[in-house]
Amino acid sequence: MKLTFLGAAGEVTGSCYLVDTGEVKFLIDCGMFQGGRDVRRRNERFAFEPREIAFVLLSHAHIDHSGLLPRLAALGFRGAVHATPATIELLGVMLPDSAHLQEREAEREGGTPLYTLAQAQRCLARLAPADYGAEVRPHPGVRCVFRDAGHILGSAILEIWIDRRKLVFSGDLGQPARPIVSDPERIAEADVLLVESTYGDRNHKSLVQTLDEFAFALTDTLRSRRGNVVIPAFAVGRTQEILYYIGELQRQGRVPRLELYVDSPMALAATRITLRHAARDELPVIEGARFTESLEDSMKINHIRSGAVIVSASGMCEGGRIKHHLKYNLSRPECAIVFVGFQAAGTLGRRIVDGAKTVRLFGEPHPVRAKVFTIGGLSAHADRDALLGWMTGFRRAPGRCYVVHGEPLAAHALRDAIASRLGWRAEVPARGQGVEL
């Protein structure tokens, strides 16, 4: 049996792993690479023949894990994509939205989209629901169980049995004790483990410290400097948690009066889905929160000069409506940009976080004069200690452990921590590397 690391190896995007048992080939995730124009070529070509893939096991709905499924189907894949019911519901919103962005970008640049809206919609017919804890048999020689990963709604850890060997793919693991989602489920054993390492080199601040920092960012901008706060946030998962925490801060009287705009049709759809599926019975309703759907309503926000909190996608500022809000607020020193999630190398968000003095938006240079806050403690990814804590649930060391889904510094730091704290041997694979199991 051979395992090939086709993405999210030494990086955090393009999650995709190919398993070839000798009898059947299948994928774990089929994610889009993100990080600027130079990654487009990596999204255009697969390192395998799509017609040979029998099925896909999907960990969750984020585009860096699911975003190339329509292209896979368009190029000949005819199997089923197994995912949790909540993931399937989210993909019904996210894949058509991704296709719309692909078509718009291709039209603007005179190229060909990675896939069309029609292709994304046809791909949705290949989705097959798999409940948490229920065994799925996508092939006579393969069985799988989806476990709750606690990352976003519907996210899963994958337990896969092939003959007598057990593979565990952590997917993206969530930080314990967070609202809306449950804690990641513990796994008892594995012959082969793939564990994510997005924050493998550091710990998040405590939730108390994080909310203090978030409250300061809002208050300093809205009350002291009388500007706007722009929050780039993933439409699925992060936006809902941001709404939750702003609601909590409002109820505690820790932030001034504000006008909250959630400018993302996908975020509205995802919030409605979240309210139907969330682990908590009740989610706080934000006073005065406005969800904007039409472009006309989105454009009206750009005329607001102070007092607004604008939550918009994409979370790494690579596309969508967030770029327009940056255009109108990034160069204003009274405003703030608050980053609440990981910014991958090569993305616009990462350049701003790293201190760029000027960035390009819509082909024009814009100076960065707004105050930039990075609040890592709101991340939906487990930090180093949470990752190690989850791994202590294994009764014995896996025969092989591969550290994936992390930039090199984070991945190697987690590998070293696994060795020193757990006494396991672990490896950091390279993209494209194949290993015989």
Tell me which residue range forms the domain holding 213: 207-378
Residues 239 and 331 in one domain: yes
Residues 188 and 216 in one domain: no
Q: Which residue has the tokens 């190339």?
A: 68
What is the tens place of the pLDDT at every residue in 46-85? 999 999 999 999 999 999 999 999 999 999 999 999 999 9
pLDDT (mean) for 105-122: 92
Domains in the chain, number: 2
pLDDT for the residue numbered 286 = 59
What is the tens place of the pLDDT at every residue in 25-54? 999 999 999 876 678 889 999 999 999 999
Residues 182 and 150 in one domain: yes
pLDDT (mean) for 370-395: 94
Helix, coil or strand: residue 69: helix
Residues 231 and 337 in one domain: yes
Residues 254 and 119 in one domain: no
The span from the CA of 298 to the CA of 21, in Å, is 49
The model's confidence at residue 193, banded by pLDDT at 50, 70 and 90, is very high
User: CATH number, domain at 366?
Assistant: 3.40.50.10890
- In the chain the first and final C-alpha atoms are separated, in Å, by 5
Q: DSSP states of 297-361 as a string?
A: HHHHHTT--SSEEEEES-TTSSSSTHHHHHHHHTT-TT-EEEE-S---TTSHHHHHHTT-SEEEE
Evaluate if residue 422 carries a pLDDT over 80.
yes
The model's confidence at residue 344, banded by pLDDT at 50, 70 and 90, is confident
pLDDT for the residue numbered 39 = 80
User: Which one-letter DSSP state was computed for residue 153?
Assistant: T
Residues 32 and 111 in one domain: yes
pLDDT for the residue numbered 233 = 92
Q: Please provide the average confidence, as pLDDT, over all residues in the chain.
A: 93
What is the tens place of the pLDDT at every residue in 210-251? 999 999 999 999 999 999 999 999 888 888 889 989 989 998
pLDDT for the residue numbered 181 = 87
User: Which one-letter DSSP state was computed for residue 288?
Assistant: T
Residues 350 and 393 in one domain: no
Evaluate if residue 205 carries a pLDDT over 60.
yes
pLDDT (mean) for 261-265: 90
Residues 393 and 373 in one domain: no
The model's confidence at residue 180, banded by pLDDT at 50, 70 and 90, is confident
What is the tens place of the pLDDT at every residue in 116-125? 999 999 999 9
pLDDT for the residue numbered 288 = 66
Phi, psi (rounded to 5 degrees) for 389: -65, -40
Residues 372 and 392 in one domain: no
Give the residue from 338, 361, 378 where a domain finishes: 378
Evaluate if residue 165 carries a pLDDT over 90.
yes
Residues 418 and 270 in one domain: no
Residues 255 and 374 in one domain: yes
pLDDT (mean) for 98-120: 91
Helix, coil or strand: residue 91: helix
pLDDT for the residue numbered 287 = 58
User: CATH number, domain at 80?
Assistant: 3.60.15.10
pLDDT (mean) for 357-363: 93
Q: pTM for the whole thing?
A: 0.90
Higher-confidence residue of 235 and 127: namely: 127
Residues 248 and 393 in one domain: no
